[in-house]
Amino acid sequence: MEKVIIIRYCELHLKGKNRGYFERIFAVNMERALKGVKHEIRRQSGRYLIENFDESETEDIISRLLKVFGIHTLSVALKVKSDMGEIFAAASEVSQKSGTFKVETHRADKTFPLNSMQVSAQIGGRLLDVYKGLSVDVHEPQNLVNIDIRENGTTLVFGSFIKGADGMPVGSAGKGLLLISGGIDSPVAGHMIAKRGMSIECLHFHSYPYTNMQAKEKVIELAEVLSRYTCGTTLNIIKVTHIQEEIHKKCNGEYMVTLLRRFMMRIAEKIAIKCGAQCIITGESLGQVASQTIEGMTSSNAVIRSLPVLRPLCGFDKNEIIARSKAMGAYDISILPYEDCCTVFLPKHPVTKPKLSDVEAEEAKLDVEALVDEALGTLEIVKI
């Protein structure tokens, strides 16, 4: 009797002739998640088994696997020979000793002498004989004993299904550049896009010395949290203090945030092309703050020449975003009270519905290319 972990994937079975491509990426991602832990991963008829691991590391393995996109459910199971005596012994280990229960059997091996209903009836009957506190409830049982008779002469016996992260394997849908601030929204946006299979590289803008170095460390921590779901990431850090000072000195202060966002997008596109990203990802949510109106987003998009901008949170309210931030483990870091660059020189009344012609008129007061080039010269890269 050996303890194993069953891994079931979600959308990969829909991929037809491309399924092998997705499965290879999926397997690599699981190996990365389990780096440093003794184990073996075996593919078995539409699922994977984690075997030959130290049972004391079971919880650690599960915790790591729950961050791997593409996993639909997990189960900790006992693997035995396809023999009714051994199956019953495993069922006895898995079963609760009191309360209502049900035995469910899946028989992939059609040569096994008993059919699914017969296996369930016999194992269930023997459990009732041994454990007097048990009773059968086939409709709403408190406990399940699942028996999976495989084609290779082994049977998997387990009690429950653990919900996985779902989604697609990271790396199967290209690469995106995430604009990550120190707030709640952008890590959630990156997490959502990674769930659809996109690998993520990050870009952070800072305004030192107007913002302190703790704000930068906070963003590195957030990138580390995100990296647990994305099989690692790279954080690009760029200083935009000089851009904000120039805008403050030469332009209408009401356009500070709008103009800064346009500079960020220009820089982001250059970084994205350099690192091979195929899109820019932001944490903007429509109407959440003054700069996140449709007019503000239109102004930002206008400077992008060749890449799409993805805004996965556009239709979410703040409570929904907070719930997702807590679920991914980023919230407690995001609410640490360190300011980001967008709070520097913040006008009392920022323009909320900027006309593109007015924005461009303000921007004409600046040497845009020189400011962008100066910002790119401050690039710092952190591998996570």
In this structure, are 154 and 226 located in the same domain? Answer: no
- Asked, for residue 352, whether it belongs to a domain, the answer is yes
Domain extent for 253 = 175-383
- Asked, for residue 100, whether it belongs to a domain, the answer is yes
In this structure, are 101 and 244 located in the same domain? Answer: no
Report the pLDDT averaged over residues 56-66: 97
In this structure, are 194 and 79 located in the same domain? Answer: no
In this structure, are 288 and 241 located in the same domain? Answer: yes
Last residue of a domain, one of 163, 185, 215: 163
In this structure, are 97 and 239 located in the same domain? Answer: no
User: Is the model's pLDDT at 12 over the cut of 80?
Assistant: no
- Asked, for residue 353, whether it belongs to a domain, the answer is yes
Report residue 107: phi and psi, to 5°: -115, 95
pLDDT tens digit string along 307-339? 999 999 999 999 999 999 999 999 999 999 866
In this structure, are 95 and 223 located in the same domain? Answer: no
Burial of 58 (0-12, 13-18, 19+ CB in 10 A): middle
In this structure, are 204 and 327 located in the same domain? Answer: yes
The enclosing domain of 272 has a CATH number of: 3.40.50.620
- Asked, for residue 90, whether it belongs to a domain, the answer is yes
pLDDT tens digit string along 203-252? 999 988 877 888 889 999 999 999 999 999 999 999 999 999 999 999 99
In this structure, are 261 and 339 located in the same domain? Answer: yes
pLDDT tens digit string along 73-87? 999 999 999 999 999
What amino acid is encoded at 326 in this protein? K
- Asked, for residue 169, whether it belongs to a domain, the answer is no
CA distance 84 to 14: 34
In this structure, are 155 and 200 located in the same domain? Answer: no
Domain count, the chain: 2
